Structure 1
Amino acid sequence: MRRDLLASFVVFLIAVPLSLGIAVASGAPVAAGLVAAVAGGIVAGLLGGSPLQVSGPAAGLTVLVAELVQTYGWRATCTITVLGGLLQIVLGVGRVARAALAVSPAVVHGMLAGVGVVIVVAQVHVVLGGSPQQSAVANLRELPGQLAHPDLPPAMLAALTVLVLLGWSRLPRGGRLRLIPAPLPAVVAGTAAAWALALPVPRVDLPDSPLGDLSTPVLPQGPPLGIAGAVLSIALVAAVESLLCSVAVDRIRPAGVPPADLDRELRAQGAANTVSGLFGGLPVASVIVRSTANVDAGGRTRLSPALHGVWVLGLALTCAPLIERVPLSALAALLIVLGVRLTDVARVRVLRHHREAPAYYGTLAGVVLLGLGEGVLVGVAIAAVMALRRLTRLSVRTEELAPMPDDGPVPPRRHVVVEGTFTFLGVPRVTRALQEIPAGSSVDLDLNVDFMDHAAFDAIHQWRLAHERHGGRVDIDEVHEAWYERAVTGDMSQLRKAAPSNRWWAPWANRRRRSEAELDAPETSPAAVLLDGVREYHGSTARLVRPIMAELAMEQKPEHLFITCVDSRVVPNIITASGPGDLFINRNVGALVPRHGSRTPDDSVSATVEYATNVLDIRTITICGHSNCGAMAALLAGGTEVEHLSGLSRWLRHGNHSLARFLSTDPDGWDEPPLTRLCKINVMQQLDNLLTYPWLRERVEAGEIELVGLYLDLSSATVEVLDRDAGTFARVPDQAPAQAPDEAPGTRTLT
């Protein structure tokens, strides 16, 4: 009770200014925001399936509500809200809540970013003393004129509100003032300044009844199809936003709090929207800002969001004169900051890594230029096209292999690899590659495909028959499901798209297929698993790498010395996409390089470096660290965890310089946990340790040898490269930098 009481008050302080501001931005009566906050808090809070989630008027619905108010009027918009709530209840009863999660997050975040842009360009007019136009395009068109003739009093109050908002977030964490949410002191400061200076600025105008006009909502007038589309838009947009918020809150729920029931949550959102619309309120949806604040403030049960609605109700009934002193420009400034945060630049970087940014930007542009519904449709269409493109992506590689001793006087052997989803769309590309193979040659055709339709099978089969009629030989190897073999034999009973299971880079446990009978068999010994792996290598890989290994059998010519940790999760050949003969690898605990003249002598690493540079003439030395390194964790713990292992304890002394560098580094410049910082600092220190060898330092300074630092983040499976001048790591870009015309190949540094 004590936790929920405090959390509900914190959420209440956040909800009041935001509810007022969202109502103003939506073109609705100001009291409609308070009605929605009460309905969302009490109804959705008590009935919802996500105990810690807080509902109320949401910024993501602002554009949609503003369009409805302009088209049908406010009271008709309330009716649409009621109908949308009833539709949500029907969808919740039908248990289709998880279907809403099928919408691409790129579209959802693009929609929110577009809403944020629309809010900003509209509220800038209010801040400057004007009135927002009916569309974002009109607001943009009129903005230069508004900027040329600003009204200073509202602009000054807005600037003060933004300054308090930003300054409040920089207060020391854990202080008593930080317990008060920033929107409340920001609005209070703007209101106090307007009252003290008696500034002539527009203020909140509440009706005689603090919670608005409780008359019966009126039926909207217009084409039935348009009204149905409006109801569907309110229901679906609010539902998707609420369900995504439920999933996000579920990830941060404390221990002991039950997981979210999405169907129950959808029914509760429908009930809250129905009540809100009947009493003249805005549409209701779950709000991530208030929900996160509820969790951070210690909320543990559904009592917290419900009490927050009670506090809003009490405020509306008892403090209406105080609310009417709030300047509209202060609320507009609050909304501008909220709109900027909705764009979420960090989210764009994540989407770009997953190559989903086009859907995000398409949705954003569509919402701003066309409207909310049209923008979402644009984003969904872009996401669908991108998904279709991924599903039909196909690559074809052809390489010439050296003839085997028993091949006789025949044309060169060819190795063709077809990877991806092989449908009729990829037939022209594959047949073009196959037709370039000389007649009579031997062909190893690898079908690394997860699906093959009849057109693809027919193209491969007819080419194979024709090639063999002309004296050639075709050996087809299927990595996943035997699509081709089944089509030839006519056994299509279990034909399905199977998940790729026999990936050469996956751990043994991920690649082994065990039947129901095998599940009851005794566990296989580690040695037997190892030998099974060798058998798999002999059966599927040895013949492919045999020509390469034959060339390397008498001499190795690696290009890089790669020093990394012994951690089994770090596989150098995978993260560098290298093969046999490319890397000269030294692995040790912690990827440590003993300094020249160290008191704890160890020649294994220095011997590797000497041989690599003086005999193999390697020109690049890489130190590769990784996240969650056990050796670095042991250093942080002072070696107490491994003090019973004498050999390991002696070896870890070589990491003391990394630990000392870590302790002397200002942590304010790092936005990462201590272990991550030490893992990265260790890479920098080991590169410096290499330079303690005089003969190596001379060659590095002469430009004959290049030193590179890499860091593997295990959780995201991404590699970062060290910029030694700046002392920072950055993700290796997907595209290589362009080489200058006068730059010799291989002279560009990786840092």
Structure 2
Amino acid sequence: MSSPNPTLPSSRSRPLDQVRQSIRFDVPASLVVFLVAVPLSLGIAVASGAPVAAGLIAAAAGGIVAGLFGGAPLQVSGPAAGLTVVVAETVAEFGWEATCAITLMAGLLQIVLGATRLGRYALAISPTVVSAMLAAIGISIVLGQLNVALGGRSQASAIENLEHIVVNAQQPNIHAVLAGLGVIGILLVWPRLPQRVRAVPGQLVAIVAITLLAAAWLPGAERVHLGGDLLDEIGSVALPEGTPLAVAGAVLTVALIASVESLLSAVAVDKLHGGPRSNLNRELVGQGLANTVSGGLGGLPVTGVIVRSSTNVAAGARTRVSAILHGVWVLLFALVLVGLVEQIPLAALAGLLIMMGTGLVRPADISQAHARGELWIYGLTITGVLALNLIEGVLIGLVAALVLVLWRLVHVRIDVRLAGRATDGREKWLVEVHGSLSFLATPTLVSRLDAIPEGQLVELDLLVDYLDPAGRDQLDHWRARYEAGGGTVLVEHSGPHGVEAPRQERALKAPPISPRGLLPWGAWQDVRADRGDRHHPLALGVREYHRRHAAPLRPVYEGLADGQEPHAVFLTCVDSRVVPNLITSSGPGDLLTVRTMGNLVPEPGSTDSSVAAPMLFGVDDLGINTVVVCGHSRCGAITSALETTRAGTVPTGPVGDWLRHAAPAIQEWQAGHPVGLAAAAAGRSEVDQVSQVNVAVMIDRLGELLAGRDVRLVGLFLDISDGTLQILRADGFTTLTDAETDELAHLMEARPAEPA
């Protein structure tokens, strides 16, 4: 029985250890996040046209409620820049108190969505539309806050903000401009300062510094006005007045945007740490509860916020305690230090928001949209949001994304060319189809096929990722007509098919990988004995290489033209089912492959240098320091060697002479080698048991051959039945799982070659 993991505390000591861990990691992290959250919450409230206290209420509610009940332990929630435009429009239409009620109802809707396990479906929205929406919000924030930084007021629309920027720029408030520029300057310089200095949040430093400077030298800059004590703002909720459709639209907008932003943030935060993954449905319920509380208390809408969350992770938080405590600190600050808040210049918060808004326009999102061919959707969504409003702009983007999906279903790339003449003198036409071939796109293909002269040889190569039954039927009808007119049609495709099935009945749906480089010939071409043409599968494979792979690989081969620097010598069996480059995902120049029957190695001192020569060449001449011996299940060579040993016969001929090298492995197996015993305990056949022992014995032989050299020896075993790969350890072979491959260096049992 293995000993318990010493890093895991006992059940009695676990609560105490958790308290110690929270004091050590979560409390300091919560203070850092609190210092970042306060200025951001104040700025977002100002940009939203809401009371400043609403930002602090939302920060406290998000931290405490979402922290307690959410499903993303390290995510920090609070008011977010992504909702400023929505809130501003809602306040303008319904008023602030009604906006609080809408926030409350949006929270209830989020709870329903999470409880019905619909949280993940919020991520089905096109990433391009989401990133464009955030970029448009960022641009709107920048335009609005530029007016504030110039001493004016933020307007309701982007166009109005542009007009007022021109007017305000002609007669700016110099004190406001200096306050805004001061914050922007500090935030631009802060990331370039030493690490110890940057341990203090730049946003906090910028707001505090400019507030202090403004108290002495910028009296003309307008200050934040809370309008009373924080407690006076609590409970300022009223039912919205308006048509039910307008109210429902506002509730749905707040709920969906808050949900999408929270879930996207949770997914992003999961990539920043190695702790528990987020439960998205529970997170949606937690966000709904936080919005219900925030709206009921008179606060802004709450979402998970990537800026605060990433700060939380970077500060060393380990549990949800950090997010909860950050909300407690915000609450205490709002109740005790209200007077300090009213000393902050509005232009300073505007500078902070300008930097935040600029950060929402991410060049990486633009590059990805361009790479996916969706840059026009990105631009259209931004234009719609800025010219109309957030809801209509996002709807325009979603419609555009759906149109693109439909266009991709209809659009296929069809290449038709004359490829010479067949052996019987007829013209040979090659037709290649790329993309998704549905019934919507098949008429285009058939019209191109009808243009081919009658009575010729046509090779129809379907390089498609999907072909629906209706489209296949139309192709079958065209082929029947063409062959009835004296022509010949050969169909090649990417999808797997049964060898015994008639050609027209084969399934043509391709697997989700590029089959030409990874699948056997039989998965993408007809290799039956009754094939009507004289092309050998090998010849078709070579043709396929020249058509699709030679050009993309040309730069690779050009880089290898002056020599090779492989990373490992790979010794394996001649069995055609074992493909070293496939099971190692390697390419040209990666492996120096040596293949022998049964991956056998002649005994040390043997005159047979068929294995020793390439091994020594790889290690001594090429400088390779890793040697792999890869056996496999159901090995024919080991089967023959075991049968002749049991029969007591002496193998003859070249094959028999070679199989004698397997005798030591069989003897070790019969003597109870640990690897063989482990294989037997795992239910392996006797042939597989010997094959696994053989890998260990061959590694020992190579250790003698390579004695004195700094070489790592690695044993692998491929299970032909399911394609899994196992690695040799001291007590047998262990299957490589996703988790284990992260520690592959420790599992490989790699060791320097030593003399026996």
Task: Indicate which of 319, 322, 326 corresponds to 1:308.
Answer: 326
Task: Indicate which of 381, 401, 404 corresponds to 1:363.
Answer: 381
1:159 — aligned with what? Answer: 181
Q: Separation in 2 of the partners of 1:342 and 1:375?
A: 17
2:207 — aligned with what? Answer: 187
- 1:334-349 aligned at under 5 Å gives the runs 334-349=352-367
- 2:161 aligned with 1:133: no
Q: Separation in 2 of the partners of 1:272 and 1:547?
A: 63
Task: Indicate which of 377, 382, 395 corresponds to 1:377.
Answer: 395
SS of 1:260's partner is coil
SS of 1:252's partner is coil
Question: Would the aligned equivalents of 1:107 and 1:380 in 2 still touch at CA under 8 Å?
Answer: yes
Question: Would the aligned equivalents of 2:173 and 2:221 in 1 still touch at CA under 8 Å?
Answer: no
- In structure 2, the CA distance between the partners of 1:474 and 1:589, relative to structure 1 (3 Å rule), is closer
1:144 — aligned with what? Answer: 166
- In structure 2, the CA distance between the partners of 1:420 and 1:536, relative to structure 1 (3 Å rule), is farther
> What are the Cα deviations for residues 673-692 of structure 1, in whole angstroms up to 9, with x where unaligned?
xxxxxxxxxxxxxxxxxxxx
SS of 2:249's partner is helix
Task: Indicate which of 443, 447, 472 corresponds to 2:458.
Answer: 443
Q: Separation in 2 of the partners of 1:81 and 1:627?
A: 59
Task: Indicate which of 139, 145, 167 corresponds to 1:117.
Answer: 139
2:113 — aligned with what? Answer: 91
Q: Separation in 2 of the partners of 1:242 and 1:415?
A: 51
Provide TM-score, normalisation by structure 1.
0.68
Computed over aligned residues only, the root mean square deviation of the Cα atoms, in angstroms, reads 3.7
Q: Which amino acid aligns with 2:141?
A: I
- In structure 2, the CA distance between the partners of 1:216 and 1:323, relative to structure 1 (3 Å rule), is closer
> What are the Cα deviations for residues 43-95 of structure 1, in whole angstroms up to 9, with x where unaligned?
00111101000000000000000000000000000000000000000001000
- In structure 2, the CA distance between the partners of 1:500 and 1:272, relative to structure 1 (3 Å rule), is closer
- 2:336 aligned with 1:318: yes
Question: Unpaired segments of 5 or more residues in structure 1?
Answer: 514-531, 553-557, 559-570, 593-624, 632-643, 654-751
> What are the Cα deviations for residues 632-680 of structure 1, in whole angstroms up to 9, with x where unaligned?
xxxxxxxxxxxx9886466469xxxxxxxxxxxxxxxxxxxxxxxxxxx
1:69 — aligned with what? Answer: 91
- In structure 2, the CA distance between the partners of 1:338 and 1:504, relative to structure 1 (3 Å rule), is same
Question: Unpaired segments of 5 or more residues in structure 2?
Answer: 1-21, 568-585, 593-614, 625-756
- In structure 2, the CA distance between the partners of 1:646 and 1:538, relative to structure 1 (3 Å rule), is farther
Question: Would the aligned equivalents of 2:494 and 2:509 in 1 still touch at CA under 8 Å?
Answer: no
Q: Separation in 2 of the partners of 1:79 and 1:210?
A: 18
Q: Which amino acid aligns with 1:467?
A: Y
The alpha carbon displacement at 1:263 in A equals 0.5
Question: Would the aligned equivalents of 1:52 and 1:300 in 2 still touch at CA under 8 Å?
Answer: yes
The alpha carbon displacement at 1:504 in A equals 0.9
- 1:592-741 aligned at under 5 Å gives the runs 648=619, 651=622
- 2:267 aligned with 1:247: yes
Task: Indicate which of 408, 430, 437 corresponds to 1:422.
Answer: 437
2:564 — aligned with what? Answer: 589
- 2:552 aligned with 1:575: yes
Q: Separation in 2 of the partners of 1:423 and 1:533?
A: 21
The alpha carbon displacement at 1:460 in A equals 2.6
- In structure 2, the CA distance between the partners of 1:222 and 1:48, relative to structure 1 (3 Å rule), is same
Task: Indicate which of 17, 31, 40 corresponds to 1:18.
Answer: 40
Question: Would the aligned equivalents of 2:566 and 2:589 in 1 still touch at CA under 8 Å?
Answer: no
Provide TM-score, normalisation by structure 2.
0.68
- 1:284-303 aligned at under 5 Å gives the runs 284-303=302-321
> What are the Cα deviations for residues 504-556 of structure 1, in whole angstroms up to 9, with x where unaligned?
12367xx999xxxxxxxxxxxxxxxxxx9997999999558859989x9xxxx
Q: Separation in 1 of the partners of 2:591 and 2:511?
A: 33
Q: Which amino acid aligns with 1:429?
A: T
- In structure 2, the CA distance between the partners of 1:303 and 1:131, relative to structure 1 (3 Å rule), is same
Question: Would the aligned equivalents of 1:401 and 1:547 in 2 still touch at CA under 8 Å?
Answer: no
Shifted more, 88-97 versus 443-452: the winner is: 443-452
Q: Separation in 2 of the partners of 1:155 and 1:541?
A: 81
Question: Would the aligned equivalents of 2:147 and 2:154 in 1 still touch at CA under 8 Å?
Answer: yes
The alpha carbon displacement at 1:136 in A equals 1.1
- In structure 2, the CA distance between the partners of 1:498 and 1:648, relative to structure 1 (3 Å rule), is closer
Q: Separation in 1 of the partners of 2:459 and 2:379?
A: 44
Question: Would the aligned equivalents of 1:22 and 1:57 in 2 still touch at CA under 8 Å?
Answer: yes
Q: Separation in 2 of the partners of 1:45 and 1:147?
A: 43
Shifted more, 87-96 versus 426-435: the winner is: 426-435
Residue identity (%):
43
Q: Separation in 1 of the partners of 2:417 and 2:260?
A: 49
The alpha carbon displacement at 1:339 in A equals 0.4
The alpha carbon displacement at 1:134 in A equals 1.5
SS of 1:400's partner is strand
The alpha carbon displacement at 1:298 in A equals 0.1
- In structure 2, the CA distance between the partners of 1:201 and 1:355, relative to structure 1 (3 Å rule), is same
Q: Separation in 1 of the partners of 2:263 and 2:501?
A: 43
Shifted more, 213-222 versus 92-101: the winner is: 213-222
- In structure 2, the CA distance between the partners of 1:308 and 1:547, relative to structure 1 (3 Å rule), is closer
Question: Would the aligned equivalents of 1:402 and 1:547 in 2 still touch at CA under 8 Å?
Answer: no
- In structure 2, the CA distance between the partners of 1:294 and 1:541, relative to structure 1 (3 Å rule), is farther
SS of 2:63's partner is helix
The alpha carbon displacement at 1:428 in A equals 3.8
The alpha carbon displacement at 1:10 in A equals 0.5
The alpha carbon displacement at 1:15 in A equals 0.2
- 1:202-601 aligned at under 5 Å gives the runs 202-254=222-274, 257-405=275-423, 407=424, 410-453=425-468, 456-480=471-495, 499-500=511-512, 503-506=515-518, 546=539, 573=550, 575-576=552-553, 586=561, 588-590=563-565
The alpha carbon displacement at 1:442 in A equals 1.9
The alpha carbon displacement at 1:359 in A equals 2.3
The alpha carbon displacement at 1:362 in A equals 1.9
Q: Which amino acid aligns with 1:332?
A: A
Task: Indicate which of 68, 76, 100 corresponds to 1:46.
Answer: 68
Q: Separation in 2 of the partners of 1:272 and 1:628?
A: 56
- In structure 2, the CA distance between the partners of 1:212 and 1:111, relative to structure 1 (3 Å rule), is farther
Q: Separation in 1 of the partners of 2:415 and 2:58?
A: 60
The alpha carbon displacement at 1:443 in A equals 1.9
The alpha carbon displacement at 1:429 in A equals 2.6
- In structure 2, the CA distance between the partners of 1:507 and 1:307, relative to structure 1 (3 Å rule), is farther
- In structure 2, the CA distance between the partners of 1:230 and 1:629, relative to structure 1 (3 Å rule), is farther
> What are the Cα deviations for residues 88-137 of structure 1, in whole angstroms up to 9, with x where unaligned?
00001000101011111111111110000000000000000011111111
2:629 — aligned with what? Answer: none
Q: Separation in 1 of the partners of 2:426 and 2:185?
A: 77
Q: Which amino acid aligns with 2:66?
A: A
Q: Separation in 1 of the partners of 2:168 and 2:236?
A: 39
Q: Separation in 1 of the partners of 2:470 and 2:134?
A: 42
Q: Which amino acid aligns with 1:504?
A: R
Q: Separation in 1 of the partners of 2:589 and 2:338?
A: 55
Q: Separation in 1 of the partners of 2:287 and 2:67?
A: 9
SS of 1:505's partner is helix
Q: Which amino acid aligns with 1:438?
A: P
Shifted more, 327-336 versus 342-351: the winner is: 342-351
SS of 1:504's partner is helix
Q: Which amino acid aligns with 2:564?
A: V
The alpha carbon displacement at 1:475 in A equals 2.5
Task: Indicate which of 191, 196, 200 corresponds to 2:220.
Answer: 200
SS of 1:415's partner is strand
- In structure 2, the CA distance between the partners of 1:153 and 1:437, relative to structure 1 (3 Å rule), is same
